[in-house]
Chains A and B, each alone.
Chain A
């Protein structure tokens, strides 16, 4: 691997990311999959970095799941997006940042379509007006929330309590980065580092002390594929893609995986359980899996948040071996306690993949 070659590509695919003043929209599924990630993001930008990120309870899903699941047509999804933009406009913001990769891809695609087909934009404006009497401005700037964390990765590193380093050996942790397909595969120029060698997560890993693994199936989809998973008959094909990725990364002995998409961390986490229960195969050390994180969770860990406040107990693959490796303290007894301190139910242990 010639590192300078990658640096050259990375320097070709940089984008300006505004410093401050964003209208923030959440993802519809991430709050269930990784319930604390978005809260952690807002806490970091508000309380650690002192930035202005505004969110409104009136915003909805972008419609991406239904659109990619072939349940609603493009005009519908565009009108939903137009309404989100209207909320941004009404709140007095011009920079739009979304938590979800599929939303980011869909917003990028919609804005590109409107640029190329102004008559389509005009029609959507009319539809939106008819539907809810709202008007909107197209955002001046569209970012994915991982772009923002990327932008402030060095500031986060300066405030870090922990680094992605094995505390026993002092060696950097070996980290797999996985980028959601809709981040830059459709519009390479909109992603930091482009589509073939995205840098958005690699940059965080480098800043926070880890070592990025470049394995053969790095560019491969996580396997979610929307309707491929949603329709049970297709699930074998969905999990086979995930299996392919894990088989490919296995020889590198990764310590952890970082992702920036709603579906990827969920499926790379949960499918490890299914693969283990179907085939007996596990990919981590000592019968554990390879823990999979969102970038917000990793930023939170680095900054010293309590792992259970980050929602890591919701993961299928146990995170404790990794926390021990880095030296992040946690209280075992608190793992399944709710916000009120009362013990929630403890999940059953799987047969073939070790959990804590």
Chain B
């Protein structure tokens, strides 16, 4: 192989075909409310950790749906389980419980 000093760039496109959704379905079984998220972002806006770390619960939920959990799972470690997001969620999702379930299902 020749090194030309440049190389193919990996694609940023989300490839949804053949997405392995088993873990997310498992999560949905124990936390049916995760499907109710409408991505308003109030959880992140009020998050104690989110203001100082990468934690963004809206993004975490989305990344699980898109099979890109590796992008965000680590950030959940910053969660202090204060429950502020629980109070603000307009869809009444028990976000605190959801976070614990994510940790269980995705093994973190």
Determine the chain B residues whose CB is within 8 A of the CB of A279 once the complex forms.
1, 8
Q: Which residues of A contact B (CB under 8 A)?
A: 232-233, 235-237, 239-240, 243-244, 274-275, 277-280, 351-352
| Interface majority SS (helix, strand, loop, mixed), chain A | helix
- Chain A residue, CB-CB nearest to B5: A232
Chain B: interface size category: under 10
| Interface majority SS (helix, strand, loop, mixed), chain B | loop
Interface mask (B1-17 → A, CB under 8 Å = 1, otherwise 0): 11011111101000000
State in angstroms the CA–CA spacing of A279 and B4 once bound together: 12
Find out whether the CB atom of A240 lies under 8 angstroms from the CB atom of B11: yes
Find out whether the CB atom of B2 lies under 8 angstroms from the CB atom of A277: yes
Find out whether the CB atom of B6 lies under 8 angstroms from the CB atom of A243: no
Find out whether the CB atom of B5 lies under 8 angstroms from the CB atom of A275: no
Determine the chain B residues whose CB is within 8 A of the CB of A280 once the complex forms.
1
Please tell me which one of the listed residues B1, B2, B5, B8 contacts residue A243 in the complex, with CB atoms under 8 A apart.
B8
Known: A233-B6, A239-B6, A240-B9. 18 other contacts (CB 8 A): A232-B6, A235-B4, A235-B5, A236-B6, A236-B7, A236-B8, A236-B9, A239-B7, A239-B8, A240-B11, A274-B4, A277-B1, A277-B2, A277-B4, A278-B7, A279-B8, A280-B1, A352-B1
Find out whether the CB atom of B9 lies under 8 angstroms from the CB atom of A278: no
Please tell me which one of the listed residues B1, B2, B8 contacts residue A240 in the complex, with CB atoms under 8 A apart.
B8
Q: How far is the CB of B15 from the nearest CB of chain A, in Å?
A: 12
- Top 10 nearest A-B pairs (CB, nearest first) are A235-B6, A236-B6, A277-B2, A240-B9, A236-B9, A240-B8, A236-B7, A237-B9, A243-B8, A274-B4
State in angstroms the CA–CA spacing of A280 and B2 once bound together: 10
Determine the chain A residues whose CB is within 8 A of the CB of B8 once the complex forms.
236, 239-240, 243, 275, 278-279
